[in-house]
Amino acid sequence: MTDGAPASGRFITLEGGEGAGKSTQIARLAAWLRARGREVVATREPGGSPGAEMIRKLLVEGPVERWDGTTEALLHFAARRDHLRSTVWPALQRGAWVISDRFADSTRAYQGYGLGLDHATLGRLQEIAIGGFQPDLTVILDLPVDIGLSRAAARRGSETRYESLPRPFHVRVQEGFREIARSEPTRCAVVDGSRDIDTVAAEIADFVIERLGA
């Protein structure tokens, strides 16, 4: 751990497109880890701290055209910095296992691959906001775009801004996550999210045992 977060805990992130099932799997993973005697903090991005939750509303609600890619990235990294300082790093320092619904890979996939923001620019913003800090394990839930969007529509509330973007955007996001996994196979594990909840949960648990020794 770097940049203010020397820690004995573990940081796990779940990533994927809209409707991938991250929230369900985080709840399952958190319960499984607690049953094994771990302190678990389940959190999310954007959000996860009071300041970051305020920024979340700006990002996930309202019209699609509200922000351009650069503005979105700046807002995401501002929220991320507050989330780390207020929630993630303190939990890791006391030895907790933190599971986050999204982290920096989502910014790379959504604003980089999805909206076409320059990857070098995103890299510079990431260095400013979080330094060299990385998850210990990133699980990417992969499933067909149309299935994910259908699932997202079924649970639709007020947070529809990203869901409302056109299908080609979501296809680019999916390919972005796949490319991130290919480029960082030691950190990332891809799981087929189209299967039943129990099967997906069991595969995630297997990765946590294999990679982190839970």
Residues 15-44: pLDDT tens digits?
Answer: 999 999 999 999 999 999 999 999 999 999
Cβ density class 63-85: b for 16+ within 10 Å, e for less: eeeebebeebbebbbbbbbbbbb
User: Which helix (H) or strand (E) element contains residue 41?
Assistant: strand 40-44
* Domain count of the fold of the chain: 1
In a domain, 163, yes or no: yes
> Percent of the chain having pLDDT more than 70?
95
Predicted TM-score (pTM) of the model is 0.93
CATH assignment at residue 61: 3.40.50.300
In a domain, 4, yes or no: no
Residues 191-208: pLDDT tens digits?
Answer: 999 999 999 999 999 999
Cβ density class 120-144: b for 16+ within 10 Å, e for less: eebeebbeebbeebbbbbbbbbbbe
In a domain, 2, yes or no: no
Residues 131-174: pLDDT tens digits?
Answer: 999 999 999 999 999 999 999 888 777 678 888 899 999 999 99
In a domain, 5, yes or no: no
Range of the structural domain that residue 63 is part of = 10-212
In a domain, 140, yes or no: yes
In a domain, 57, yes or no: yes
In a domain, 64, yes or no: yes
In a domain, 102, yes or no: yes
